[in-house]
């Protein structure tokens, strides 16, 4: 019996015996790696690149947006679009909070990974209820979203405490941000007890409040400062990657539309043309805006951030419209709701990109390019609305919209070539 007990004790205490043989300080270094405080404001990494962790984090938003888009694709109407736009706004605000935390305060350590993975777990559950979140799934969606905000409040509280030690002047700003997150959690949680329409109205107010707060922060000069958010290459890449995510909705919409319809020549042809519309949206964004930094001043940076909301919303909504468009490929005219959703999405995206271009550092350096280009994008938006109003056959509607995007792109190319700046890549902020 004694021998057995000795053997059992050896097994029981084996971890401690192994720990005693570890090099001195290893346990402390591991603990420090796994639970270091976040980077303080102003601790910028100039040559930082987007990490694989951030790419993984963005993928969970694919699920949330896809589920929300699936509902409007099956029920194309003004109300369905409103529900989708509100849910997309909530999703976009969550993404901005999570992404800017990583940009400003993330590290290559265990703590940052844990924070991101917990967020992803909550967001995966959020995706389950994103379909019809403006209706019967609203209560569950609100509870999960409030949980995400509570967790982010705790995350930003750690930032405030770190700033209090290392950047005392920034601590009040971090504190106000933390309070904003806590209030947001209370507001969203309170919305779950409201009737459906009242809940949606409160979500709209919440979204407008966040957009207004970002704009106000920018105009007060609290964006673009050395100790705050600065227009780095990694920040530009983060927003570009989110744009790619929503462009994926166009591909999903085309595939789902062809799969659900009778796969004959006209249906497949309409789907392929619709896919070219997605290609055109990619071409416009990444040749005109992508890889180009915004100016460093607060108003410009706020404009650049906020105008990405209607850009990405318009692309996602256009992708949702593809399903109905392909389903009606044989109709002599495009259904009214589908025509307005697709054409209106293109128009909104062009106007938003015209506004975004005014915030670029290149907008001043290449004024002879961007001024006429902005006018061309606005004119293209008007033309898209006219096409949507006319409601031609689905394949003709897509061809006309692709033509509009092609004209805008050729205007951009001709201006860039005339200025000798085509293909320069990211411009440095002033």
Output the pLDDT for position 354: 95
Output the pLDDT for position 335: 94
The rounded distance, in Å, linking the Cα atoms of 298 and 225 is: 8
Give yes or no: residues 221 and 325 share one domain.
no
Can you list the alpha helix ranges (DSSP code H) found in 75-170? 78-105, 110-128, 138-166
Which of 170, 202, 229 is where one domain is finished? 229
- Taking a C-beta distance cutoff of 8 angstroms, is the pair 345, 310 a contact? no
Interhelix angle 78-105/233-260, nearest 10 degrees: 150
Below-50 pLDDT ranges, the chain: 1-20, 22, 426-430
Phi, psi of 365, rounded to the nearest 5 degrees: -65, -35
Is residue 38 situated within a structural domain?
no
Assign 3-class secondary structure to 264-296. Answer: CHHHHHHHHHHHHHHHHHHHHHHHHCCCCCECC
Q: Report the domain count for the chain.
A: 2
Is residue 25 situated within a structural domain?
no
Domain of 100, in residue numbers: 50-229
Give yes or no: residues 266 and 400 share one domain.
yes
Contacts of 130 (CB under 8 A, 6+ apart): 63, 64, 65, 67, 68, 71, 87, 91, 137, 141
Output the pLDDT for position 225: 57
The rounded distance, in Å, linking the Cα atoms of 339 and 390 is: 9
Say if pTM beats, i.e. exceeds, 0.85: yes
The rounded distance, in Å, linking the Cα atoms of 83 and 70 is: 12
Give yes or no: residues 408 and 387 share one domain.
yes
Give yes or no: residues 182 and 256 share one domain.
no
Give yes or no: residues 277 and 191 share one domain.
no
Is residue 19 situated within a structural domain?
no
Give yes or no: residues 165 and 96 share one domain.
yes
- Backbone angle region of 221, left / alpha / beta, with phi > 0 → left and psi within -120 to 50 → alpha: left
Taking the alpha carbons at both ends of the chain, their separation in whole angstroms is: 79
Q: Which of 270, 276, 356, 252 is nearest to 312 (CA)?
A: 356
Phi, psi of 78, rounded to the nearest 5 degrees: -65, -40
Output the pLDDT for position 232: 81
Is residue 6 situated within a structural domain?
no
Phi, psi of 193, rounded to the nearest 5 degrees: -90, 0
- Taking a C-beta distance cutoff of 8 angstroms, is the pair 334, 397 a contact? yes
Is residue 12 situated within a structural domain?
no
- By the 10 Å C-beta count (0-12 exposed, 13-18 middle, 19+ buried), 20 is classed as exposed
Is residue 27 situated within a structural domain?
no
- Taking a C-beta distance cutoff of 8 angstroms, is the pair 239, 294 a contact? no
Output the pLDDT for position 221: 67
Output the pLDDT for position 12: 39
Which of 201, 229, 257 is where one domain is finished? 229
- Taking a C-beta distance cutoff of 8 angstroms, is the pair 294, 231 a contact? yes
Three-state secondary-structure class, residue 150:
helix
Output the pLDDT for position 243: 94
Contacts of 82 (CB under 8 A, 6+ apart): 134, 200
Give yes or no: residues 185 and 319 share one domain.
no
Give yes or no: residues 245 and 383 share one domain.
yes
Give yes or no: residues 184 and 266 share one domain.
no
Which of 229, 261, 280 is where one domain is finished? 229
Output the pLDDT for position 406: 95
Is residue 17 situated within a structural domain?
no
CB atoms under 10 Å from CB of 272, counted, come to: 14
Is residue 430 situated within a structural domain?
no
- Taking a C-beta distance cutoff of 8 angstroms, is the pair 334, 390 a contact? no
The rounded distance, in Å, linking the Cα atoms of 33 and 53 is: 16
Give yes or no: residues 115 and 255 share one domain.
no
The rounded distance, in Å, linking the Cα atoms of 293 and 8 is: 63
Give yes or no: residues 239 and 380 share one domain.
yes
CB atoms under 10 Å from CB of 230, counted, come to: 19
Three-state secondary-structure class, residue 227:
coil
Residue 352's alpha-carbon distances to 82, 92, 248, 330, 348, in angstroms, are 18, 16, 19, 32, 6
Give yes or no: residues 157 and 221 share one domain.
yes
The rounded distance, in Å, linking the Cα atoms of 210 and 237 is: 22
């Amino acid at each position: 019996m004694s021998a057995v007990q000795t053997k059992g004790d050896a097994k029981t205490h084996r971890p401690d015996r192994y720990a005693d043989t570890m090099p001195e300080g290893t346990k402390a270094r591991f603990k420090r790696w796994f639970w270091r405080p976040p980077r303080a404001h102003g601790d910028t990494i100039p040559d930082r690149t987007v990490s694989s962790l951030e790419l993984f984090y963005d993928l969970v938003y694919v699920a949330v947006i896809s589920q929300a888009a699936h509902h409007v694709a099956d029920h194309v109407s003004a109300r369905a679009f409103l529900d989708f736009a509100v849910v997309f706004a909530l999703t976009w605000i969550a993404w901005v909070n999570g992404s800017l935390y990583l940009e400003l305060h993330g590290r290559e350590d265990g703590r940052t990974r844990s924070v991101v993975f917990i967020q992803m777990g909550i967001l995966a559950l959020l995706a389950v209820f994103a379909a019809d979140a403006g209706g019967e799934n609203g209560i569950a969606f609100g509870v999960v979203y409030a949980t995400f905000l509570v967790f982010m409040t705790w995350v930003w509280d750690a930032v405030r405490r770190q700033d209090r030690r290392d950047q005392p002047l920034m601590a009040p700003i971090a504190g106000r941000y933390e309070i904003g997150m806590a209030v947001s959690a209370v507001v969203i949680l309170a919305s779950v007890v409201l009737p459906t329409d009242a809940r949606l109205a409160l979500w709209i107010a919440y979204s407008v409040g966040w957009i207004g707060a970002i704009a106000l922060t920018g105009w007060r000069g609290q964006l673009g400062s050395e100790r705050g958010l600065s227009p780095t290459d990694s920040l530009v890449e983060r927003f570009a990657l989110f744009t790619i995510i929503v462009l994926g909705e166009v591909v999903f919409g085309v595939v789902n539309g062809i799969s659900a319809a009778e796969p004959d020549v006209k249906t497949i042809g309409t789907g392929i043309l619709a896919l070219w519309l997605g290609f055109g949206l990619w071409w416009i964004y990444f040749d005109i805006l992508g890889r180009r930094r915004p100016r460093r001043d607060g108003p410009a940076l706020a404009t650049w951030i906020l105008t990405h909301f209607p850009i990405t919303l318009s692309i996602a909504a256009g992708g949702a419209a593809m399903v109905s468009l392909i389903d009606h490929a044989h109709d002599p005219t495009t259904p009214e709701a589908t025509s307005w959703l697709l054409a209106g999405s293109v128009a909104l995206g062009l106007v938003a990109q015209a506004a975004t271009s005014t915030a670029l550092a290149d907008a001043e350096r290449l004024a002879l390019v961007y001024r006429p280009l902005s006018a061309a994008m606005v004119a293209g938006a008007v033309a898209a609305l006219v096409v949507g109003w006319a409601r031609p056959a689905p394949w003709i509607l897509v061809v006309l919209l692709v033509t509009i995007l092609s004209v805008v792109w050729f205007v951009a190319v001709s201006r860039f070539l005339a200025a000798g700046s085509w293909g320069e890549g990211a411009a440095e902020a002033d």
